[in-house]
Structure 1
């Protein structure tokens, strides 16, 4: 296929994926914002100007996430560029759950270190301050990033699919976990049961109770899914006890 004919296909895929990411953001954040209004009436009263900013930055981030994802999706389907596979029997059965954990751990590792990097004073002022302008964060803040920060997050999963085999269904689970945790960690209240948050398992995963402490204190609790790197690096400051678990 000539280069000239590749361009419309890749552009079309990038536009389609941007639309998908945008609809996913609006639907998921909208759902959890609605739940917040039902469960915690008035919790985000008076935050309409902030929420409008969060939506604006997030829709810009949707394009930054959608463009590389769309190009990679086209490359997978049209050229077989990636290591995404459809046949579950292509790899041992145990690789299905293990690949999910591998992807989440590597994504979490990348997020932890780039997030800490974003808290260096110069980068914070230039980029990461956009995210921390959400005071308190709301469900709409999940993708409220400066383009520099959005770009650091947008390249991770598209890069991993070139290196590590993953079933298309498991990849969907990775994206689902990324979406749900990104939104629920910013709701300003704890949607998960107290029994989970305060359990042994809860001591290793991140929920709103843990991430809220980051938005309060800034120099701690940098992780995305797991508390592993925060614990190893001494940056875990526990959870925001004042948030009531469901």
Structure 2
């Protein structure tokens, strides 16, 4: 029963991403049967990751705190920047090794990404992202509210990066904090030129390691 619940949760997130993308763009997208098939596989694998996390929590391997305190903010920031760094490193490695053609090239078939491309991933890539997420939860007792906020933010950034257009005006993108975030333009530029912009939520690591495209 829990499998079905977690699958429904992941399917609902996918529907929300695709529907929101359509609203923001103001036009419907036409997806191929192949895209729907890959998207479905990604959803099933995300369900496996969700169930694995639940099982590890139930068995006491993962500890989650439930209190409302400053820990909500600090834990969210820790999750945000830790996952951003881990995904940057993984993303950089698969671009610079033989793994690109085997694993990541599928995602880069989209030169001009659209919302469903968030879920057009090789199974190895999907499980790697899920594995990094579970590893963090195993290492530290994160707050439940911080986890929920992070997961919502993760979906928002994922959708934003695959809109195929920039919803934020240049004046907003150049604000002191926003300029360091992974905007739609930031990730779209990565799909245009695979040698730059490996970050997800921020451009911090790209700026530090010289892979930021201005």
The answer to whether TM tops 0.5 is yes
**4+ aligned runs moved over 6 Å, structure 1:** none
Structure 1: unaligned runs, 5 residues or longer: 1-11, 239-246
Larger Rg: 1
- Counterpart residue number, 2:18: 29
Alpha-carbon contact 1:206-1:225 (below 8 Å) kept: yes
Corresponding residue number in structure 1 for 2:193: 217
Which residue of 2 is the match for residue 16 of structure 1?
5
* Residue matched to 2:49: 68
- Matched with 1:9 is none
Match of 2:59 in 1: 79
Distance in structure 1 (CA, Å) of the matches to 2:37 and 2:168: 28
Per-residue displacement from partner, 1:5-47 (whole Å, max 9, x unpaired)? xxxxxxx4344323311221122222212321x1xx58x6xx6
Deviation for aligned residue 1:72 = 1.7
**CA–CA distance in 1 between the matches of 2:200 and 2:36?**
21
CA contact (8 A) 2:85 2:205 kept: yes
Cα offset, 1:199, TM superposition: 1.5
> Does the aligned pair in 2 maintain the 1:100–1:174 contact within 8 Å?
yes
- State the number of aligned residues: 214
The unaligned stretches of length 5 or more in structure 2 are none
Of residues 134, 141, 160, the one that matches 1:184 is 160
Of 115, 118, 140, which aligns to 2:94?
A: 118
Q: Which residue, 104, 107, 131 being the options, matches 1:155? A: 131
Aligned to 1:104: 80
- RMSD of the TM alignment (CA)? 1.9
